[in-house]
Amino acid sequence: MSMQQTALSIQGIENLRALDKPCYVIQEVIQGKDQISINNEGCEDVSKISAYVPPMVAEQLGDPAFKAFYGVKYAYMTGAMANGISSEELVIALGQQNILASFGSGGLDLNRVELAIKKIQQALPDGPYVFNFIHNPSEPAIEQGTIDLYLKYGVNVIEAAAFFSLTPSLVYYRAKGLQQDAQGNIQINNKIIGKVSRREVATVFMQPAPEDILNKLIAQGLLTQAEAQLAMQVPMADDITVEADSGGHTDNRPLISLLPSVIALRDDIQAQRQYPVEIRVGAGGGVGTPDAALACFMMGAAYVVTGSVNQSCVEAGASEHTRKLLAQAGMADVVMAPASDMFERGIKLQVLKKGTLFPMRAQKLYDLYTTYNSLTEIPPAELEKVEKQILQNSVDTIWQQTVEFFQKRDPSIIEKAQNNPKKKMALVFRWYLGLSSRWSNAGVAGREFDYQIWSGPAMGAFNDWVAATYLNDYKNRHVVDVAEHLMYGAAYQHRIQVLKSQGLYLPAQYQRYVPTAAIK
């Protein structure tokens, strides 16, 4: 029988799931029928062995240096989802199983971030954990305040996201505390995982800190001359996550094009700089199934990052209504909508469109912003629709609430808007965009159609994958379980591919890993 033909009889197929053991494929003709058996012990008659697969466990996938660097068991991490969607509970649950997770500090006030640091550090005194650090061009004081908190509490790993270029606060974090040991090796106390979706931004993170920013930090008394000198010898990031078509902020880039390009860029810069420790490149955006995770590893990713799929889990800082909508989403049920934090720049993020009117309402506000120069220029009938259908309050009331908010957070924002009608209009509209994600997280009744739910196509792919399993019910989804199944499944799919490379094509029902129960 040709190994490319489907066997008429297969025995021991369950042995394929014993990933820590080798698999021997025995081909025989019994009573005139072709039969294939798979076992973990081998066969005395080696001539009957048609294919062989060595042990391949999930812990073997990816770059072992990533696992050693962060003290984790998998080359896997969950990326941050802002506003605490990547919650303390999520980070702690994963960290207790030695799986890396990033807390979603973006969009939270400093008091809330400080509470999260204390809670996570108490539960995970030795890690592993990461805190997100999101670029906030409209509120630089919040950026610096966040970094000050991280340094104060010894948060030594951050995930830097949404950066176009380096800011003084990010450079300050990286350079602070740099020193040399007795052998002359540079000791980096503050580690950075840079999340990028463009080569030019990846280049910035792969290079040392700019000298002009370092000099300004020295002049401000924030860095010593020695720290600045050492900062010019190390890259800005230890790891680079290539983020493709993801939920939230995204450029919708295809991973199969972007990841190899950034890996090649890393290789070029490494050849020039000769860093003692090579920057690792991971992959995220669209990773919602074992097949997708394995594809990332096979393209050279040092690690994989998941996002959207974790938001539907019970540990996520999202309301039950939101988690239920996410669990029902298909791959096409997402759309781009204006982002609150970069509203004036026209930056968009990817959100769920099924079950919510947020995308179209947010776009309506942005269209008004680009058409008119102030709230008073908007035709009265049009403004009335906005107040009744979207804001559900008068713009005067919204403005007063906005003033009260920024007086506590950053009063300079209001000062700039007092004499700038266009800026004032943007802040009023941003009130809706900013609160809509919080309504979703908190499950605010009466605002369900205004929920802003960040999601990428990976959510739909995950739902399709688990549709016939116990994970179809969002109430059964736990972040550790999801991580284990994705990594275990990727190792299983790798085993199937090795068999295919030897000419063995199993029936379709055996070629894809399907979660049957929680992995112990």
What pLDDT score does 283 carry? 98
Residue 86 tokens, joined: 């990547």
Which backbone phi and psi does 196 adopt, to 5 degrees? -135, 160
Q: Has this prediction a pTM greater than 0.85?
A: yes
Mapped to the 3 state alphabet, what secondary structure does 230-252 carry? HHCCCCCCCEEEEECCCCEECCC
State how far the Cα of 156 lies from the Cα of 158, in Å rounded to an integer.
Answer: 7
What pLDDT score does 509 carry? 85
Exposure string for 101-140, b = 16+ CB within 10 A, e = fewer? bbbbbbbbeeeebbebbebbeeebeebbbbbbbbbbbbbe
Residue 263 tokens, joined: 């890996």
What pLDDT score does 306 carry? 97
What pLDDT score does 1 carry? 37
Residue 307 tokens, joined: 């996002």
Residues of the chain scoring pLDDT < 70:
1-9, 31-32, 520
Q: How many CB atoms neighbour CB 59 within 10 A? A: 16
State how far the Cα of 333 lies from the Cα of 341, in Å rounded to an integer.
Answer: 23
The CATH topology of domain 72-318 is TIM Barrel (3.20.20)
What pLDDT score does 139 carry? 79
What pLDDT score does 239 carry? 98
State how far the Cα of 300 lies from the Cα of 63, in Å rounded to an integer.
Answer: 9
Q: How many CB atoms neighbour CB 187 within 10 A? A: 11
* Position 24, amino acid: Y
Domain chopping of the chain, boundaries: 72-318, 330-452
